[in-house]
A and B are shown apart, each in its own frame.
Chain A
Amino acid sequence: MDNSLLSLLIWLPIFGGALVIWLGNERANTARWLSVALSIVVFIMSLSLFTEFDSSTHLMQFEEKASWISQFDVYYHIGVDGISMPLIILTTFSSILVLIAGWEVIQNRPAHYMAAFLIMEGLIIGVFSALDAILFYAFWEASLIPMLLIIGVWGGDNRVYAAIKFFLYTFLGSVFMLVSLIYMYNKGGSFSILDMHNLSLSATEQAWIFWAFFMAFAVKVPMFPVHTWLPDAHVQAPTGGSVILAAIMLKMGGYGFFRFSLPITPDASLEFSEIVIILSLIAIVYIGFVALVQRDMKKLIAYSSISHMGFVTLGVFALFLAYTPGTAEGALLGLEGAMIQMISHGFISAAMFLVVGVLYDRLHSREISTYGGVINSMPKFTGFAVLFAMANAGLPGTSGFVGEFMVILGVMQANIWYAVLAGTTLIVGAAYTLWMVKRVFWGEVTNPAVSTLSDINAREFGILTILAVAVVAMGLYPQPVIDVMHVSIEHLLNQALTSKL
């Protein structure tokens, strides 16, 4: 069973989702129980990825390989290393939360809703574990389909626009990646991602391939200036959709930089790293200010996501500046900080969207001005909300601090001014998050409806507790996660610094 663990993680949710569709909306309760049970089983199984993981090697583990399309030497080849394994566990973890979160809230076609999330879970695990470029591309694109339907069917008033924009943006980004993957296949004769890492490419080739990859991954992250689909998608998506989108789908972009851009096009990454860093800084600073003026809570969190994801790209590409022969420490800090930031942002953004979801379910409004004084009627809930807000602002002791701190430390060794700019996010981030908290949770009750709010029920309490534990645990003791990825990151750094020319 060990050998097919990854396959099980991919296909169990997908076939489970198909089963749930077959159960249909008439048997909604069975569908709900089955989906949640399945997602819990998958999560428990994925934990053995962590426990049985050998963190002393950068080589792929839990590998499976079988011929798939022999005409193009495409293999069903999957495996994980220290970079992808934590992201898979993040995926299985978040999926449980969204399925439980959608329990009562979704009354329109509940079985299909559950099935869409299950299928998406399997596809995203596929993205993180694929070692064959075509397999990767297939999972990458296929994961758009459930998300398109989730936004379009269960979303808000302007959902059609948001859903189509989301799909087209990401689709446009990824087709160029496909072209460059095919190009490398024609050159090297293999679609294996690991073979592509070793494929020697000229400077021009690398430049083209780098930008093709960049289109695909930057849209997904999303980086400034191709971020505009994200606020729309987030605002219109149902709570569960926003959570998966922020917690996992954005990580697919970051993962792409780790798995493709750095090792395949190291020289181009070096050459263009300044541009990427500047775009990241714009995302961090400018988008932070944009978040400040939002009146819609979901939009605010969406912009804050973009700003936080800026740290991921900043940490990744700062390695070239931070690295001076002999001391890889700064570069390593940046890369590991980026990874930690991805995972931590997975927890925090999920929590923030769930918090907004709790409010939205009660008053059907995302406007900050609707609320005020929520603490009077929902004290328990406010406790959680403030904790997550603090984490979002990067308070030490929460996971939000660790990643950002590591990235800033890394960048400091590259260029102090970049570090100063990135550091402002701690101020701006605190400003927009805490100001929102102040307007929503504290102060006088201005809207009579707020005083009638009922505090969170056991289900919501459970979800938020789990997330709170995760956020604090990652903040206080991130070492196990760093240990797991350390060797893989070192190897990646080595690849990124080895010229292919």
Chain B
Amino acid sequence: MNNMYTFDTSTLWAALPEIFLLSAIVVVLLLDLFLTKPFKQATYYLTQISLFITGVMAFNLINQPQIIIFSSSFILDNMASVFKVFMIGSTMVAMVYTRHYLTQHALFRGEYFVLVLLSVLGMMVMVSGYSLLTLYLGLEILSLSLYTLIAIARERAGAIEAALKYFVLGAIASGLLLYGMSMIYGISGSINIIDIANFAANADLASRETLILNFGLVFLVIGIAFKLGAVPFHMWVPDVYEGAPTSVTLFLSTVPKVAAVAMLVRILVDGLGAMHAYWADLFMVLAVLSIALGSVVALMQTNIKRLLAYSTISHVGFIMLGFVTGVISGYGAAVFYVFVYILMSLAAFGIVILLNKKGFEADQISDFKGLSNYSPWFALMMLVVMLSMAGVPPFIGFYAKFFILQQVISAGFITLAVVAVIFAVISAYYYLQIIKSMYFEEADKDITITAPMSMQLVLSINAVLILVVGIFPDFWIKLSLSLF
């Protein structure tokens, strides 16, 4: 490759969505400065329009032949494009829910949307990053935006605490990741994923010289586990989920997981795929611990945001199980699980936000009491989401678990599958608690829904999709498998 270290403008089109989004961010930021109060809503619409156009651009790049540009540090392949479209779509949905929350709690500021756009940009860079440096830069753009987003509710002590906690722990994680990267660079002599992959494939992994490769790998896995929120690197998850404004939690718990998985795929599968046997063992431990702790500790939660945080941890465990298998179809199962998880998580937090009113955060499980009387429709939707998360067919969550289990069993880890299903049953208990509140108990306060029709409509579609895709999952399964 002669053009490896040259800047070739003819391939810039491959990064068109990122370039457009960056320009849009600047425009939105500047415009917001000059918008007077009555026109503040314009920022929201501009954000949605920018996201939409970026999404269309990314969509048009699907099925382009794979291309690696910018001195081998940026890749455009189907995985990147599909992930980008999915992240942007999810962000747009999240923004619809977010707007209701922000207006109810007087947090509606232009910066909020700019920060969201910035974090999306960071995630897009992560998804397309093909060198350790690009990946790290993308991660930092994402993380710094998120820290600030959490702290945007600056009057709330909980939010500040959450932001600081997330910042400190996130910084440590980034440090570990960076340390691991430097080890890998030190031994392989390159930060490009291709070169690292070549090096790892040709290295004698048992020799003393490559011990440092292993050493670096451990730090990389820790860094990634931190970002995913896998046990034992999960401590920040419940606190941050609880402390952050719900709209931020909604965003934080959904879209960045896609980016984290993309980073995982780039580094561990594309880069260090030859060392799968080494990192799969680590993943197995992380996965089992996450599923177990996520299922058991959630039983004691009364705050629904914390509960969903532990539920996320357990879902992350399942996602990691897919990577343990070490086969393409297993990775496909993991990616399918991510898609499904995002769909469910968006709907779950969407319904939490739906119940929000001025001065009322519906963040306790008891706030759902009697919802089936006040709003049978959304109670039914929440029922669908909860059962789907528990893995009950015919909802989509079942097929995600089923796919993972099928892969795990096919890879020969039957015990692992049995452990996973036992904890899945345990976790069903707390999902049932929410159903219990909604259906079996009477309301003790007025929970009439005041959210705008647009949000109710999007939320309904979101939740109905959980059922519909559950009945016709074929397309999504095939799509997830085609990415590898």
Bound together: yes
Instruction: Point out residues on A near B: beta carbons under 8 Å.
Output: 21, 24, 68-72, 112, 134, 137-138, 141-142, 144-145, 148-149, 152-153, 159-160, 163-164, 167-168, 171-172, 175-176, 178-179, 182-183, 185-186
Within 8 A of A (CB), among B355-411: 372, 376, 380, 383, 387, 392-394, 398-399, 402, 405-406, 409-410
A112 CB contacts on chain B under 8 angstroms? 376
In the bound complex, do residue B436 and residue A178 qualify as a contact, i.e. CB atoms below 8 Å apart?
no
In the complex with contacts A171-B428, A178-B421, A163-B402 CB distance below 8 A: no
A179 CB contacts on chain B under 8 angstroms? 405, 409, 414, 417-418, 421
Output the least CB separation between B242 and chain A (Å): 25
In the bound complex, do residue B392 and residue A149 qualify as a contact, i.e. CB atoms below 8 Å apart?
no
In the complex with contacts A178-B421, A183-B414, A72-B398 CB distance below 8 A: no
A134 CB contacts on chain B under 8 angstroms? 402
In the bound complex, do residue A164 and residue B425 qualify as a contact, i.e. CB atoms below 8 Å apart?
no
In the bound complex, do residue B424 and residue A142 qualify as a contact, i.e. CB atoms below 8 Å apart?
no
In the bound complex, do residue B428 and residue A168 qualify as a contact, i.e. CB atoms below 8 Å apart?
yes
Output the least CB separation between A201 and chain B (Å): 14
Partner of B432, one of A164, A175, A185: A164
Partner of B409, one of A21, A142, A149, A186: A186
Interface 1/0s, chain B 426-456, versus A by CB < 8 A?
Answer: 0011001001100111000000000000000
A145 CB contacts on chain B under 8 angstroms? 383, 387, 392
In the bound complex, do residue B405 and residue A178 qualify as a contact, i.e. CB atoms below 8 Å apart?
yes
Who on chain B is nearest to A212 by CB? B418
B392 CB contacts on chain A under 8 angstroms? 141-142, 144-145, 171
Within 8 A of A (CB), among B57-100: none
Please tell me if B123 contacts chain A, counting CB pairs below 8 Å.
no
In the bound complex, do residue B409 and residue A182 qualify as a contact, i.e. CB atoms below 8 Å apart?
yes
Output the least CB separation between B364 and chain A (Å): 18
In the bound complex, do residue B474 and residue A68 qualify as a contact, i.e. CB atoms below 8 Å apart?
yes
Please tell me if B478 contacts chain A, counting CB pairs below 8 Å.
yes
Listed by A's residue number, 20 A-B pairs whose Cβ atoms lie within 8 Å are: A69-B399, A69-B473, A72-B406, A141-B398, A142-B393, A145-B383, A149-B439, A152-B435, A152-B439, A153-B372, A160-B436, A160-B440, A171-B428, A172-B422, A175-B424, A176-B418, A178-B402, A178-B421, A186-B409, A186-B410
A138 CB contacts on chain B under 8 angstroms? 393-394, 398
In the bound complex, do residue B478 and residue A71 qualify as a contact, i.e. CB atoms below 8 Å apart?
yes
Who on chain A is nearest to B478 by CB? A71
With contacts A72-B406, A171-B392, A186-B406 known, what are 10 further pairs, Cβ within 8 A? A134-B402, A138-B398, A142-B392, A160-B436, A168-B429, A179-B418, A182-B409, A182-B410, A182-B417, A185-B406
A152 CB contacts on chain B under 8 angstroms? 435-436, 439-440
A24 CB contacts on chain B under 8 angstroms? 376
Within 8 A of A (CB), among B440-484: 440-441, 473-474, 477-478, 481
Who on chain B is nearest to A185 by CB? B406
Task: Report the Cα distance A112→B376, complex, angstroms.
Answer: 10
Indicate the size class of the contact surface on chain B. Answer: 35 or more
In the complex with contacts A71-B481, A142-B392, A178-B405, A164-B429 CB distance below 8 A: yes
In the bound complex, do residue B422 and residue A182 qualify as a contact, i.e. CB atoms below 8 Å apart?
no
In the complex with contacts A141-B398, A186-B410, A163-B440 CB distance below 8 A: yes
Top 10 closest pairs, chain A to chain B, by CB: A138-B393, A175-B421, A152-B440, A186-B410, A172-B425, A71-B477, A160-B440, A141-B393, A182-B406, A138-B394
A69 CB contacts on chain B under 8 angstroms? 399, 473-474, 477
In the complex with contacts A141-B392, A179-B414, A186-B410, A168-B474 CB distance below 8 A: no
Who on chain A is nearest to B418 by CB? A179
Output the least CB separation between B35 and chain A (Å): 43
In the bound complex, do residue A167 and residue B406 qualify as a contact, i.e. CB atoms below 8 Å apart?
no
In the bound complex, do residue B439 and residue A153 qualify as a contact, i.e. CB atoms below 8 Å apart?
yes
A182 CB contacts on chain B under 8 angstroms? 402, 405-406, 409-410, 417
A141 CB contacts on chain B under 8 angstroms? 392-393, 398
Output the least CB separation between B428 and chain A (Å): 6
Task: Report the Cα distance A168→B392, complex, angstroms.
Answer: 11
A153 CB contacts on chain B under 8 angstroms? 372, 439-440
Task: Report the Cα distance A172→B429, complex, angstroms.
Answer: 11
Output the least CB separation between A229 and chain B (Å): 14
In the bound complex, do residue A70 and residue B440 qualify as a contact, i.e. CB atoms below 8 Å apart?
no
Task: Report the Cα distance A496→B421, complex, angstroms.
Answer: 29
Who on chain A is nearest to B399 by CB? A69
In the bound complex, do residue A171 and residue B425 qualify as a contact, i.e. CB atoms below 8 Å apart?
yes
Output the least CB separation between B326 and chain A (Å): 16
Output the least CB separation between A465 and chain B (Å): 35
Task: Report the Cα distance A128→B449, complex, angstroms.
Answer: 41
In the bound complex, do residue B394 and residue A164 qualify as a contact, i.e. CB atoms below 8 Å apart?
no
Output the least CB separation between A280 and chain B (Å): 26
Output the least CB separation between B270 and chain A (Å): 23
Select the residue from B376, B383, B478 with max chain A CB neighbours within 10 A: B376
Output the least CB separation between A159 and chain B (Å): 7
A71 CB contacts on chain B under 8 angstroms? 474, 477-478, 481
B405 CB contacts on chain A under 8 angstroms? 178-179, 182
A168 CB contacts on chain B under 8 angstroms? 425, 428-429, 432
In the bound complex, do residue A137 and residue B393 qualify as a contact, i.e. CB atoms below 8 Å apart?
yes
Task: Report the Cα distance A149→B429, complex, angstroms.
Answer: 15
Who on chain A is nearest to B441 by CB? A160
A172 CB contacts on chain B under 8 angstroms? 422, 425
In the bound complex, do residue B432 and residue A142 qualify as a contact, i.e. CB atoms below 8 Å apart?
no
In the bound complex, do residue B414 and residue A164 qualify as a contact, i.e. CB atoms below 8 Å apart?
no
Who on chain A is nearest to B408 by CB? A182
Who on chain B is nearest to A183 by CB? B409
Select the residue from B372, B421, B478 with max chain A CB neighbours within 10 A: B421
B406 CB contacts on chain A under 8 angstroms? 72, 182, 185-186
Output the least CB separation between B94 and chain A (Å): 28
Task: Report the Cα distance A68→B394, complex, angstroms.
Answer: 13
B394 CB contacts on chain A under 8 angstroms? 138, 142
In the bound complex, do residue B421 and residue A176 qualify as a contact, i.e. CB atoms below 8 Å apart?
yes
Task: Report the Cα distance A168→B474, complex, angstroms.
Answer: 29
B399 CB contacts on chain A under 8 angstroms? 69
Task: Report the Cα distance A196→B393, complex, angstroms.
Answer: 21
Task: Report the Cα distance A21→B477, complex, angstroms.
Answer: 31
Task: Report the Cα distance A45→B164, complex, angstroms.
Answer: 65
Who on chain A is nearest to B329 by CB? A71
Interface 1/0s, chain B 249-282, versus A by CB < 8 A?
Answer: 0000000000000000000000000000000000
Task: Report the Cα distance A71→B475, complex, angstroms.
Answer: 9
Task: Report the Cα distance A164→B436, complex, angstroms.
Answer: 8
B429 CB contacts on chain A under 8 angstroms? 164, 168
In the bound complex, do residue B440 and residue A159 qualify as a contact, i.e. CB atoms below 8 Å apart?
yes
Task: Report the Cα distance A212→B285, complex, angstroms.
Answer: 25
Who on chain B is nearest to A137 by CB? B393
Task: Report the Cα distance A83→B268, complex, angstroms.
Answer: 52
Output the least CB separation between A316 and chain B (Å): 26
Output the least CB separation between B395 and chain A (Å): 9
Output the least CB separation between B434 and chain A (Å): 12
A72 CB contacts on chain B under 8 angstroms? 406
